[in-house]
Amino acid sequence: MMIRTTLKYLALCLGLLLFLHPEESYAQQYHVDLGLRSQKAFGLYFENGIVAQFSSDSIAPKRLYLGIGFISSRLGSALGSNAIKQDNYQIWLAYYLKKDHQLRPFFSLGTGYFKADYESPDFKVLDQRSPLLSVTAGLEWASPYQVKVNLALGYNIISGNGEKGPGTLYPTFAQLNFFYPLR
């Protein structure tokens, strides 16, 4: 079940990438930013990973972005420590204001899938997986070197509360993203 869900998400990501593949005829229509994300849950882990954002000249140009990403504590707090290994498959829609400014506020609505690995069979009774639903708001700085840096605060609407949901899925978080425009 878990593998099937993971494959479903990967297939979706691949499909999006293929769809947005930089064919000549679409050269002016689509933009792809590739980047790195560092996410810190307030009170818990650093989770790091890769992200990509897509936008189109035909739909709210330079304003509306579709993003996908994978972040994990395996690339953060769990690296060389006993922290819980947990993965987040994220997909979001971001809307940027003041599109031609160097400093652009944005907000986004995201969803996805969260999976923690509690390792021992003793913990099978606990929720280790959850859908993700989040809102974030932040500021993006377009540096003179093409790289865009954005910092956001977010809130996971679905999170653990001791009675249901994974206990290591925290509601409040901060994100630091670096995006490089591929095209």
Q: Is 135 in the site for other proteins (CB under 8 A)?
A: yes
Residue 26 one-letter amino acid: Y
Q: Hey, what long-range contacts does 14-20 have (CB within 8 A, 24 or more apart)?
A: 16/54, 16/66, 16/68, 17/52, 20/54
**Contact with other proteins (CB under 8 A): which of 52, 167, 177, 179?**
167
58 binds other proteins (CB under 8 A): no
Q: Which is nearer to other proteins, 18 or 125 (CB)?
A: 125
> CB of 40 within 8 A of CB of 68?
no
Single residue of 53, 55, 77, 175 touching other proteins by CB under 8 A: 77
- Contact letters for other proteins, residues 6-45 (x by CB under 8 A): ------------------------------------xxx-
Integer Cα distance of 83 and 81 in angstroms: 6
Counting runs of H as helices and runs of E as strands, what totals does the chain give? 1, 8
User: Total residues at the site for other proteins (CB under 8 A)?
Assistant: 32
Q: Which of 4, 25, 82, 100 binds other proteins (CB under 8 A)?
A: 82
Q: Which helix (H) or strand (E) holds 115?
A: strand 103-117
The residue behind tokens 């971001």 is 94
Q: Which residues of this protein are in contact with other proteins, per CB under 8 A?
A: 42-44, 77, 81-84, 107, 118-120, 122-123, 125-126, 135, 137, 153, 155, 159-164, 166-168, 170-172
